Amino acid sequence: RDTRDDVLDAHRGIYESAEVDFNPSWLGSSANFARFLGQVAYYKPVFGGSTVWANSLRLGLEVSLTGEPIPISASFFSGGGSTLRGFSLNGAGPQRPVPVCSDPADPATCSNITVPVGGPQLIILNSELRFPLGIMDKLTGVAFYDGGNVYGHLGNFWSDYTNSVGLGVRYSTPIGPIRLDVGHNLNPVPGIKSTQWFITLGQAF
């Protein structure tokens, strides 16, 4: 359901979507699992209409139907310019160490890096104030909050809930705004920078 006034840069309206996947082996799936992903986004002009208050909530759940692992390709990932801006791309949630070697035959050349592995549970809450900067008509500013995480197990959403805040600017173009965001994670994770920069095309949601 989509009542937004502008798909590329909404100022008012609601966007709602829901996706339900059922993957049984008797239909050819290599793993038996079910998956749900839903989103609700709300856009409202405030302060006389010059500022837009934009909000989005995304919820994802997966469950194995036989107890076997869900493929990593089907797991949820988060972090980056359109989800949790205090994390690098797909950098939120469970991580695992992976050895990287310049010479696999020589263990002395190996070191560990951490990589995201995704998870079966996802929550992303975004809230933005999009306001004119008064410099030029096509340039606007943004103050935002991003909350949530990816979880390795189904359960309490608040156990590893993270909070990120930040600022950004937007320059309007016919194909959507050019966006620069700087996000800071208030719950930093070891090995991941707590401040992230993103330059991209289009609003975060």
Tokens describing residue 114:
């951490």
The long-range contacts involving 35-39, CB below 8 angstroms and separated by at least 24 positions, are: 35/60, 35/61, 35/62, 35/74, 36/60, 36/61, 36/62, 37/76, 37/122, 39/15
pLDDT tens for 8-33 read 999 999 999 999 999 998 888 888 99
C-alpha of 123 from chain center: 9
| β-sheet with 139-151: strand ranges across | 13-23, 33-46, 51-64, 121-132, 139-151, 162-171, 178-185, 195-201
pLDDT tens for 46-78 read 998 889 999 999 999 999 998 888 999 999 999
Stated pTM of the model = 0.89
pLDDT tens for 136-171 read 889 999 999 999 999 999 988 888 999 999 999 999
Integer Cα distance of 24 and 6 in angstroms: 38
pLDDT tens for 87-104 read 999 999 998 888 888 888
Integer Cα distance of 56 and 33 in angstroms: 26
Percent of the chain with pLDDT over 70: 100
Percent of the chain with pLDDT over 90: 73
Integer Cα distance of 86 and 89 in angstroms: 10
Is the pLDDT higher at 137 or at 36?
A: 36
Task: Report the candidate in 47, 40, 53 with the shortest Cα–Cα distance to residue 128.
Answer: 53
